Amino acid sequence: MRVSLSDGTARTLFSLQNGRAKLHCARFPSSICVIVERTDDHKELIVTAFDPVKGLGAELTRIRFNPNTDIWDAALSPDGTRISVISGSLG
């Protein structure tokens, strides 16, 4: 959601496929933000551009992923040109 600072009105920008995603933004002067989410079969991570005003943009890439991995996180480089992923397991 996006909330207006002037009047506090909340507006939905988009919905996520499976409800669990990571949001990352590069540092100024870059203006890129991305959403990273797993596919329903958990075999890939989808990286999609995101604009806080316009909502979701283009799909940027897909990363193959171990479907048996329980724990994961992603990080966007400060300039927004690279993404890293770490993963682990509970058991």
Which structural domain, as residue segments, surrounds residue 63? Answer: 2-88
Pairing of strands 83-88, 10-11: unpaired
Can you give the pLDDT at residue 32? Answer: 92
For 10-43, write each residue's pLDDT tens digit: 888 777 766 678 888 999 998 899 999 999 898 9
- pTM across the whole model: 0.80
Total number of domains in the chain: 1
% of residues, the chain, pLDDT over 70: 93
